Amino acid sequence: MGSVVTYVGLSLVLFAIGAVGVCIRRNAIVVFMCIEMMLNAVNLAFVAFSKLQGNLDGQVAVFFVMVIAAAESAIGLAIIIALFRNLVSVETTDAAQLKW
């Protein structure tokens, strides 16, 4: 087992990769996966700090984040499918055509 610093460092790297992916990529599915990566990085940090403190508070927070992420996945994928059906594209720049 690694130290808490190792896990927090890995969490920081995963979060940074996810943030860069959200800012750079144009494909909605890739942006969606990068957001999920950022959520998992935060979960890893919660578990690492929970281990450091010696209590289960961080793991309880991870449970709630995972529940929210599951709901977000269902709604987000439905939006992406609707976007693809209307535009035959999942590029985020093409979504501007859906304005009223």
Q: How many CB atoms lie within 10 A of CB 62?
A: 20
Q: What's the whole-number average pLDDT of the chain?
A: 91
Q: Which amino acid is at 45?
A: A
In whole angstroms, give the CA distance from residue 29 to residue 45: 25
pTM for this entry? 0.86
Q: For residue range 17-53, what is the model confidence (pLDDT) as tens digits?
A: 999 999 999 898 999 999 999 999 999 999 999 999 9
Predicted confidence at residue 96, as pLDDT, reads 75
Q: Give yes or no for a contact between 41 and 15, defined as CB atoms under 8 angstroms apart.
A: yes
List domains and CATH numbers for the chain.
26-92 (1.10.287.3510)
List pLDDT tens digits, range 16-26.
999 999 999 98
95 DSSP 8-state letter: G
End-to-end CA distance of the chain: 54
Q: How far apart are CA 95 and CA 84, in angstroms?
A: 10
